[in-house]
Amino acid sequence: MNETEQLLEQVADHVRNSARGQGRPLPAPLGAGETTRAEGILGFVLPPLLAELYTRIGDGGFGPEQGFLSLRQAVTTYGAQRVSGWRWPEAVLPIADFGCAMYACVDCRSETAQVLLFDPNTGEPDLAWSIDGPSLADWLRGWLDGTAWFCEESELGEELDLELRPWAEFSSRI
């Protein structure tokens, strides 16, 4: 079993255990055709790990904070943000809603599927983007082991004045 398969199994186990504890069913996984259709609408390919999450785990509803967006919600949000006043970068797909207009997003052009945090509460479009994780795999591991800043059980928690590194590629991608 390779690292990706192992990570997908860990996510599936975590999601199953969480769903049992919350007593709510998880949306069914998508078919491969549905991710292909979404890619056609978006105009770019989803990173393999992200596509696998949608086709093997579920169509959103799991993950940190309010959970992963369904793929349809992610596509719709991406389209709306691209025409908003925030100069949303190309191929940066929102995947999780953190509330207060903040989104965790995947840079679908990045080889590692880098995770970015969009926080418009800075008031400045150029300052709204920061790097939340070097890869989607690392970001998921932080969620699974509870060490990510957004995890309730994280020692960082609310005490941390979150200082993420700005995303330098922002201006070249709008």
Fold of 3-172: SMI1/KNR4-like (3.40.1580)
The two three-digit tokens of residue 148, written as one number: 């990510």
* Structure tokens given for 10: 């860990």
Residue 156: the pLDDT is 46
Is the whole model's pTM more than 0.95, yes or no?
no
Q: pLDDT band for position 162 (50/70/90)?
A: low
Q: How do residues 102-155 score in pLDDT, each as one tens digit?
A: 999 999 999 999 999 999 988 887 789 999 999 999 999 999 998 888 876 545
Give the pLDDT confidence score for residue 6 in this predicted structure. 96
Classify residue 94 as left (phi > 0), alpha (psi -120 to 50) or beta: beta
Tokens of 6: 């192992």
Name the packing angle between helices 71-82 and 32-42 (round to 10°).
Answer: 0
67-109 pLDDT per residue, tens? 899 999 999 999 999 998 888 999 999 999 998 899 999 999 9
Tell me the H-state helices in the chain.
3-22, 32-42, 48-52, 71-82, 136-145
Domain boundaries, the chain: 3-172
